[in-house]
Chain A
Amino acid sequence: MLEATLSALEQSARLRIAGAQSLEELEAVRVDALGRKGTLAQASKEMGKVPAEERGRIGKLLNAVKQQLEEALDAKKRHFEEAALKARLDSEWIDLTLPAAGVPRGHLHPISKIQAEIEDLFISMGFVVLDGPEVETEYHNFDALNIPADHPARDMQDTFWVEGGHVLRTHTSPVQVRGMEKLGPPLRMIAPGRVFRNESVDASHDHTFYQLEGMMIDRDVSVGNLTYFMKTLLGSIFGREVTVRLRPGFFPFVEPGFELDIQCLLCGGPGCAVCKQSGWVELLPCGLVNPNVLRMSGIDPEEWNGFAFGLGMTRLVMMRYGIDDIRQLQSGSLRFLNQF
């Protein structure tokens, strides 16, 4: 008798669970079936009427029905919760292709970028980075570099003169002199910086540009050492092995003096428009430090010698990024700078 009631009760509750449309309806089913005054509680009151030998079995049956209904209710509840979560998440759809928030990152000037690269490379090889004034004494800019006043080499650089007999430095080479004066030998230094030439401006000439001077003074510094450093420098800058060659060049502060050419990176040697069909691109002047220069800075050339080079950083930046107009570099134009 009770067994039949339980069976009907279970069947009806299952039907209602299946048909529930919301958590509230489901809760009502739970209260009706499993609540303290629910149908199952009512049914259990009938247990007393069950013959004693049946009681164990019916009792188990009652518990089983209760447990099964609870499970069914839970499952249905989970179903509703999952559906609700899914609906909420779905409603939170966002178009991630919209533009980013916050202030977009700014841009470093291309000269700053390349300068930092070269500085790091040389620092890793034990060089210090030195600085000198932009308004320089005539002595440091010329005389101490073996370019006395009546020397025709002064014509090699068109000079801005300022009051007090000073000049706007025409090259970063005076920092060599300052380095030797301040630190003495042995010395490994580079000096990046702004230099000035009193020339008319066009797409490939500006009155203001950037150089990077380098100098190493030690006991036995050779042309072979110079070539080694230059190859390392250029290989690092261009990110690949480069072929270089030295040929004679005249700069009063070095002896011997060289022009260093790099094998054209575009054509690799056979000749193209960039290298003017020669297969080589002139890149930097360098040489062994002239003993007069050492002597003037108080270094004994019999004991010490060294090499020096001057890298045209502006030119290098233009080569690296394919910039065809030097004037862009100091234009302050964001249309230019935003590209770096």
Chain B
Amino acid sequence: MKFSFNWIREFTDVPQSTSARDLERLITMKTAECEGIEPVGDLLATACLATVVSVEEMPGGHHRKAVVETERYGLKTVVCGAPNCRAGMKTVYVPLGTKTIGGVESDGMLASGAELSINRDAAGIVDLAAGETLDRCAPDGVIEIDNKSITHRPDLWGHYGMAREVAAILGSELRDPVSMDLLPAGNAAIGVSIVDFSLCARYSALVFENVTVRPSPLWLQYRLEAIGLNPINNIVDFTNFIMAELGQPTHAFDRDLIEGGTIFVRPAKTGESIRALNGEDYDLSETNLVIADASGPVAIAGVIGGEATAIGGRTTSIILESANFLAASVRKTSAQLKLRTDASMRFEKAQDPENTTRALARAVALLEELSPGIRLVGGVADERKPAVPQPVIQLPLDWLARKLGRSLEVAEVRQILERLQFGVSESSPGVLAVTVPSWRATKDIAVKDDLVEEVGRMIGYSSIDPRPPALLASPPKPDPTRLFHRELRALLTGIGFTEVYNYSFVSEEEIGRFGFTAAEHVAVLNPIASGQELLRTSLLPGIRRNVVENTKYFDSFRLFEIGREIHRQPAGLPGEPAHLVAVVHARDDGARGLFELKHAAEAILPGAEIRPVEARSFEHPARAAEVVWRGETVGRLFEFGPSMEIDGRAAVLDLDLRKVGRRMGGESKYRPPGKYPSSEFDLSVLAGLREYVGDLRAKVEGFAGSLAESVEYVRQYSGPPFSEGVKSVTFRLRVGSPERTLASEEVGAVRAAIIEGMQGLGYELRV
């Protein structure tokens, strides 16, 4: 929303020493966020009216030499390229220094509306009507306010409302541009029928006749142009002007095109449609509130007018609508029709119903100037639901002081609220009864907490000292999951892994590569870019992408991500288990990466087992295993298969941290180291080449009995003297007892038991 500094200054005095920039800062600190300030109309500082005395064509036909009588600088000769430059016309002269054009010395220039920033007319120089002046056309500063920061302030969507804030900030007087006396008394010339007052709290209208549609005076064009509205003609312009000034949208219908004598405010009927002023057709439904005449909808309430009843060159009589619609209804319609207008933006903030007739009164004053000869027909049509009494809020000052964290004087608080036009009385000692003005009461201010802000911003938050709270010191509950995730990060970075963050989105193409189906994913209903259609059910697609990208720059690397999978559930919110995926990429045979990750898994989950299993479609068919920890499968260790199209090998560890977390905990229990020496011996088992060492070891351990302290893998060997397809696997056994030194017969018995047991399973042993 743009605000003209000059416009604001029409309603309240700003000291000479306060520049537009100063005001911008004050508004930022006390009211709403300013995004910047833009000077406009700089040329107007020196511009003045001028009458063209004579015009002489110059050779070439492009330029004319004009002699002008200026109001401030005397007689001047200028070269002018404008086709409309003619003797006798009244225009605008700007002294810009002299310049020789086509051999003629041109002193200054005659300016177009666009050059002066008054309007967008660049076709010719300004052509002033009789009696028109440059009054109120002075250099201006345009302050841009962030719309988000005034979402809750319907009253700040017009200059008068902002001026009210400025007056409160500066302590200066406020001048109301509205004179309600101008409203005519008597019966209205048009009927108004509101079907549901909850959707339309008030509908006011006034009829004018003998209207002439013509350009607006320069000062008004300049005001609109400064805040980014394109001046069109007096009728369009004055409605825009009133909206920009009072925040109240109005709409003018061509009275001759309205059927019947009554305006209906009602929900649209199924099947109704309307061609709007923007030339688009809209199909309406019962959720859309419309303005209708006897034949059907003529406007979408609070959003846009209809084309069929619009003001045109032949308009001589208008019905001026100034209404108040339910914010939620306007917002819903505007969203549904995907049509946001200056009017809908204001109505959806909940405008003040008291403002409708104020806008009409303002229109009466303006139209007298903008359309000379205009006549009012009848009185004001004004249907409304009974006005609600202005709410009164009890504000205890000690409560206020506690909230702000600063002591306050009654007089100080009172003055602040009164400047903001709240009604204030002291209902009991230390408690103020605060009456909320109508323009703040629609949505903005309802409870005493809302007044904390009013007082706080005006005393300035910088006047409140930072202070630690007085509260019980209590340590927060420990958070083992978070600690575990942190430990994981520390451990993995310590052994060379770098952490990545990937998006939660995946594309259909990506999941297709993994053999996942779209149906198992949570779908995003309104993605704006490709690749955002689905939510990831696995971190693997993201990690694969990271691997593929990084192989372009690195020969080998280690990555990991801790993130959430998102799994759809039959009902309710999706499940979001946290996962860890770690990957080792290298251009080698891939074995080292797998064992590095096995090492990582064992470091994270002491005692974890890796159990080979059948591979999934995207895994290396001979290199896939489950990670089993404390009796539950908590993840997988595998190598990406060839379908992943990775340059080199990528080993992957994928752990379900939610499962891991559930199984964590339990302190280790200390046992003193044995006092008696233990004995060691080696055993070699002959087995098939693809027999898992882990299985062999488990069998050996099973036969070793209670005296065995450890069974350690030493080496495996295949080749001569062993026959083809056979390997020898050597284990080292340590046996001992915490109570005594074992006799050699006891050690021998353990050894014999293993040999016998393994032989019983059909294994040959080399001892």
Question: Which residues of A does B touch, CB under 8 Å?
Answer: 103-109, 111-112, 116, 119, 123, 126-129, 131, 133-137, 150, 152-153, 156, 159-164, 166, 168, 186, 188, 194, 196, 198-201, 207-208, 216, 218-225, 227-228, 230-231, 245-250, 252, 255-259, 288, 290-291, 301, 305, 329-335, 337-338
Tell me which residues across on chain B come within 8 A of A128, comparing CB atoms: 476-477, 479
Tell me which residues across on chain A come within 8 A of B387, comparing CB atoms: none
Known: A123-B476, A135-B522, A255-B453. A332 touches B500 (CB 8 A): yes
Tell me which residues across on chain A come within 8 A of B462, comparing CB atoms: 245-246
28 A-B interface contacts by CB (under 8 A): A104-B496, A106-B499, A109-B500, A126-B474, A131-B482, A134-B576, A135-B535, A150-B331, A152-B349, A153-B152, A188-B476, A196-B504, A207-B503, A208-B505, A218-B471, A221-B469, A223-B452, A223-B464, A225-B467, A227-B405, A228-B467, A247-B461, A248-B453, A249-B149, A250-B32, A257-B453, A332-B550, A333-B550
Query: Among the listed stretches B23-31, B44-52, B203-211, which one makes contact with chain A, having 4 or more residues with CB under 8 Å of it?
Result: B23-31
Docked Cα-Cα span, A247 to B557, in Å, equals 48
Known: A255-B452, A330-B503. A162 touches B542 (CB 8 A): no
Tell me which residues across on chain A come within 8 A of B662, comparing CB atoms: none
Docked Cα-Cα span, A111 to B150, in Å, equals 32
Query: Among the listed stretches B81-89, B120-128, B192-200, B524-532, which one makes contact with chain A, having 4 or more residues with CB under 8 Å of it?
Result: B524-532
B760 interface hit (Cβ, 8 Å): no
Tell me which residues across on chain B come within 8 A of A161, comparing CB atoms: 524-526
- Is the pair A222, B573 in contact by a Cβ cutoff of 8 Å? no
Interchain nearest-CB distance for A80 vs B (Å): 41
- Is the pair B499, A337 in contact by a Cβ cutoff of 8 Å? yes
Docked Cα-Cα span, A248 to B456, in Å, equals 9
Candidates A152, A221, A248; contact of B331 at CB < 8 Å:
A152
B162 interface hit (Cβ, 8 Å): no
- Is the pair B496, A291 in contact by a Cβ cutoff of 8 Å? no
Which residues of chain B in 31-71 are interfacial with respect to chain A, using CB atoms and an 8 Å cutoff? 31-33
- Is the pair B33, A223 in contact by a Cβ cutoff of 8 Å? no
Candidates A136, A150, A196; contact of B327 at CB < 8 Å:
A150
Tell me which residues across on chain B come within 8 A of A248, comparing CB atoms: 29-32, 149, 453, 457
Give me the 3 closest cross-chain CB pairs, A-B, nearest first: A224-B405, A222-B405, A256-B453
B753 interface hit (Cβ, 8 Å): no
Candidates B327, B461, B525; contact of A245 at CB < 8 Å:
B461
Interchain nearest-CB distance for A287 vs B (Å): 8
Closest to B522 in A: A162
Docked Cα-Cα span, A112 to B489, in Å, equals 9
Docked Cα-Cα span, A31 to B502, in Å, equals 81
- Is the pair B465, A224 in contact by a Cβ cutoff of 8 Å? yes
Docked Cα-Cα span, A59 to B441, in Å, equals 127
Interchain nearest-CB distance for B588 vs A (Å): 14
Tell me which residues across on chain A come within 8 A of B470, comparing CB atoms: 220
Tell me which residues across on chain B come within 8 A of A301, comparing CB atoms: 449
Known: A107-B498, A208-B503, A222-B405. A186 touches B471 (CB 8 A): yes
B704 interface hit (Cβ, 8 Å): no
B219 interface hit (Cβ, 8 Å): no
Candidates A105, A106, A168; contact of B504 at CB < 8 Å:
A168
Tell me which residues across on chain B come within 8 A of A337, comparing CB atoms: 498-500
- Is the pair A160, B524 in contact by a Cβ cutoff of 8 Å? yes
Tell me which residues across on chain A come within 8 A of B573, comparing CB atoms: 133, 135-137, 164, 166
Which residues of chain B in 381-418 are interfacial with respect to chain A, using CB atoms and an 8 Å cutoff? 402-406
Docked Cα-Cα span, A30 to B346, in Å, equals 115
Docked Cα-Cα span, A96 to B639, in Å, equals 36
Known: A150-B327, A332-B542. A255 touches B449 (CB 8 A): yes
Docked Cα-Cα span, A339 to B50, in Å, equals 67
Interchain nearest-CB distance for B522 vs A (Å): 5
Known: A103-B495, A160-B532, A208-B503. 10 other contacts (CB 8 A): A109-B500, A150-B332, A198-B527, A220-B469, A223-B403, A225-B468, A245-B461, A246-B461, A333-B549, A334-B498
Docked Cα-Cα span, A225 to B127, in Å, equals 62
- Is the pair B501, A223 in contact by a Cβ cutoff of 8 Å? no
Which residues of chain B in 8-27 are interfacial with respect to chain A, using CB atoms and an 8 Å cutoff? none
- Is the pair A334, B554 in contact by a Cβ cutoff of 8 Å? yes
Known: A105-B494, A198-B528, A333-B550. A129 touches B467 (CB 8 A): no
Candidates A126, A256, A331; contact of B456 at CB < 8 Å:
A256
Docked Cα-Cα span, A168 to B574, in Å, equals 11
Known: A135-B566, A247-B29. A224 touches B502 (CB 8 A): no
- Is the pair A106, B496 in contact by a Cβ cutoff of 8 Å? yes
Closest to B576 in A: A133
Candidates B151, B479, B526, B558; contact of A250 at CB < 8 Å:
B151
- Is the pair B28, A247 in contact by a Cβ cutoff of 8 Å? yes
Tell me which residues across on chain A come within 8 A of B540, comparing CB atoms: none
Known: A222-B467, A224-B406, A225-B469. A256 touches B504 (CB 8 A): no
Closest to B582 in A: A106
- Is the pair B523, A163 in contact by a Cβ cutoff of 8 Å? yes
Tell me which residues across on chain B come within 8 A of A136, comparing CB atoms: 573
Interchain nearest-CB distance for B158 vs A (Å): 17
Known: A228-B469, A290-B449, A330-B503. A156 touches B151 (CB 8 A): yes
Interchain nearest-CB distance for B466 vs A (Å): 4
Docked Cα-Cα span, A208 to B331, in Å, equals 27
Candidates B447, B502, B504, B557; contact of A334 at CB < 8 Å:
B557
- Is the pair A223, B449 in contact by a Cβ cutoff of 8 Å? no
Tell me which residues across on chain B come within 8 A of A208, comparing CB atoms: 503-505
- Is the pair A129, B479 in contact by a Cβ cutoff of 8 Å? yes
Tell me which residues across on chain B come within 8 A of A218, comparing CB atoms: 469, 471
Known: A168-B504, A330-B503. A162 touches B476 (CB 8 A): no
Tell me which residues across on chain A come within 8 A of B494, comparing CB atoms: 105-106
- Is the pair A224, B404 in contact by a Cβ cutoff of 8 Å? yes
Tell me which residues across on chain B come within 8 A of A107, comparing CB atoms: 493, 498-499
